């Protein structure tokens, strides 16, 4: 199966995501190229779920390149905030990672204990063509809580605030290998690898 997927477009311009996914998919024969290499316009993420948005992004990249495409839609879900930032995680504060983290801390300033629980969601969608009637969909979940202050300088996004269940460490303190093994994206990749027969 790797032959027809050896050159696959990643429907994202996120450098951190590209690096993580390429590492996680090593040995599968999939070689990921960012959609920016092909000047693919961003898909409109107007779906109501992670699955809908990932599918839109994958089909958009495949339509503009004629190549198989892999899309990742992921985010942070905080029940105390009604599920926010959710599908809007990347643009929660419209100012990048630092602004997103600051807005989240502000929104949770009165939350304590169990109110700070949260989880990351990752949905990966792989299409062989824009009109693929049988996209491969894989999901992963990573449970934890929102720390009161950022910690660590690794990772990206909400990693400095995401304290892992059963530890005092945030995702930003993990090595790349540890994060790949534990994270929502790592779990989704494992499922995708199984579906592809790796």
pLDDT tens digits along 108-165:
999 999 999 999 999 999 999 999 999 999 999 999 999 999 999 988 899 999 999 9
Q: How far is CA 34 from the centre of its chain?
A: 15
CA distance 60 to 91: 20
Quote the CA–CA distance of 186 and 140 in Å, as a whole number: 7
Residue 71: beta bridge partners? 125
Q: Is the dihedral of CA 104, 105, 107, 111 positive or negative?
A: positive
Residues in the chain: 198
Q: What is the DSSP letter of 11?
A: S
Q: Is residue 85 reached through a cis peptide bond, with omega within 30 degrees of 0 on the bond before it?
A: yes
* Residue 134: both structure tokens together: 């049988």
Structure tokens at 68: 């198989």
pTM of the model: 0.90
pLDDT at 115: 97
What pLDDT is stored for residue 16 in this prediction? Answer: 78
| Architecture in CATH of 2-196 | Alpha-Beta Complex (3.90)
Q: How far apart are CA 57 and CA 99, in angstroms?
A: 24
Decide if 127 contacts 69 (C-beta within 8 A).
yes
pLDDT of residue 27: 84
Across 15-22, average pLDDT? 84
For 104, the enclosing helix (H) or strand (E) is helix 96-107
pLDDT mean across residues, the chain: 92
73 is catalytic: yes
CA distance 167 to 164: 6
Q: Among 73, 97, 165, 190, which one carries the catalytic annotation?
A: 73
Please tell me the predicted confidence (pLDDT) of residue 136. 95
């Amino acid at each position: 199966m790797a032959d027809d997927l050896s050159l696959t477009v990643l429907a994202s311009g996120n450098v951190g995501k590209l690096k993580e996914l390429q590492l996680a998919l090593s040995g599968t024969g999939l070689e990921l190229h960012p959609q920016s290499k092909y000047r693919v316009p961003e898909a409109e993420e107007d779906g109501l779920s992670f699955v809908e948005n990932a599918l839109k992004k994958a089909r958009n990249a495949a339509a503009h390149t004629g190549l198989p495409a892999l899309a990742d839609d992921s985010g942070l879900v905080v029940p105390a905030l009604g599920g926010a930032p959710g599908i809007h995680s990347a643009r929660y504060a419209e100012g990048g990672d630092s602004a997103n983290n600051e807005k989240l801390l502000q929104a949770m300033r009165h939350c304590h204990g169990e109110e700070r629980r949260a989880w990351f969601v990752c949905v990966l969608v792989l299409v062989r063509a824009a009109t693929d009637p049988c996209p491969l969909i894989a999901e992963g979940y990573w449970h934890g809580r929102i720390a009161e202050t950022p910690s660590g300088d690794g990772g990206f996004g909400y990693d400095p605030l995401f304290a892992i269940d059963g530890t005092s460490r945030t995702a930003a303190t993990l090595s790349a290998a540890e994060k790949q093994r534990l994270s929502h994206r790592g779990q989704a990749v494992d499922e995708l690898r199984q579906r592809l027969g790796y």
